[in-house]
Structure 1
């Protein structure tokens, strides 16, 4: 069972931030289509027999290293969009695998050092009446997206809602090793959302077939106290290959 609240404390964060105005767009995929994009240490996590891929645009606010006090301004607010899927290590520990990360702040590309697939680009998040609009395009390559949603009423999350939105570690691969980055924040306050516009080529750029079914969509006003831990390599235990 996936936990709705953080599964661990991040006592020494590498980064603090707020994640605001986040939309979750999720498509079901055949597990084999997702597994083909994963390193051998990970398996596609499934819900009701399907693997799931999420397009999640949001605003990064008040980004700062832990040593920077709250009275000192952090980085300027910027947009980020993740294309991600849900995975488990061979020992059963769940997490996220990022197929791509679009970002409007080139400084974040430093995380490529541990394999995070950042792509600098031109991104925007804007409000117009009751609609939230997201758009982005890479500086290198032609991958892009445009999404307009209308948030609805708050919901009490179902088991599936929690499964789709709550993960407390991310995996990357670099230097022949699997790396794990823990995260801690309060549970997402979720609402229904209706899609007015959805155009994207990120899934195709990641090597996935174009989605054919209607997505599941949620919106969250966001969480304000995100703590990202230090990335660390996950070394296989002796005698247990693939972990």
Structure 2
């Protein structure tokens, strides 16, 4: 598949390595960055979805997605993400992804952009079952670039690990490096992290914004493990 991810808001907190390791599928371990495991709360707008590079899927439309993610590494060093949840408003997408082992949740989701010379970007989500909610927004500093090692390590992830049919699968995701800007949190009321079973307190240590990237999702492979 070919798609764009736009107006990405990326919030990250440190968590104990053991807490992340307990959520890894077989064959991968929790990746450690700057001495810690990390959990991310990430929102972006899915746009221009295509099958391959040529066949548009207009009935899916453009929609916001909000995910909770951990970071993984295989024995050979291949790095990826492990999704704990992905909230989206398109039922067809949710059902298709869940059939492939990706933990999508059908939710009411909304992208929020504040107008003005210094706009802010955020996302609101409310799950249709259980009424778990999240609302967060940032104001990016577009005059600055986030090129530090931590920011790059947390975002340069070109694949995902997930459980499927009793095995661990790796799905490659190709895109240019995220163009990243440091950002300031202007609003944060989150229930998704607690719903995922993670005890995270205080403000996020890493707050980033990206105008987006074009991505291509490739064929999955099975992760071999003892």
Normalising to structure 1: TM-score of the pair?
0.85
**How many residue pairs get matched?**
221
The corresponding residue for 1:117 is 103
Structure 1 stretches lacking a partner, 5+ long: 1-14
Aligned ranges 1:139-218 → 2 under 5 Å: 139-152=128-141, 153-218=143-208
TM-score by length of 2: 0.91
Tell me how far 1:68 sits from its aligned partner. 4.2
Change (3 A) 1:211 1:41: farther
Q: Which residue of structure 1 lines up, in the alignment, with residue 61 of structure 2? A: 76
The answer for unaligned runs of 5 or more in structure 2 is none
2:16 maps to 30
Aligned to 1:92: 77
SS at match of 2:82: strand
Would the aligned equivalents of 1:127 and 1:133 in 2 still touch at CA under 8 Å? Answer: yes
Query: What does the per-residue CA deviation read over 1:187-239, in whole Å, with 9 as the maximum and x for residues that have no partner?
Result: 1111111111111111111111133354310000111x211112232244xxx
Q: Tell me how large the CA RMSD over aligned residues is.
A: 1.7
Q: Which residue in the other structure is 2:218 paired with? A: 229
Determine helix, strand or coil for the equivalent of 1:112: helix
Q: Note closer, same or farther for the CA distance 1:218–1:164 as it changes in structure 2 (3 Å cut).
A: same
Would the aligned equivalents of 2:12 and 2:207 in 1 still touch at CA under 8 Å?
A: yes
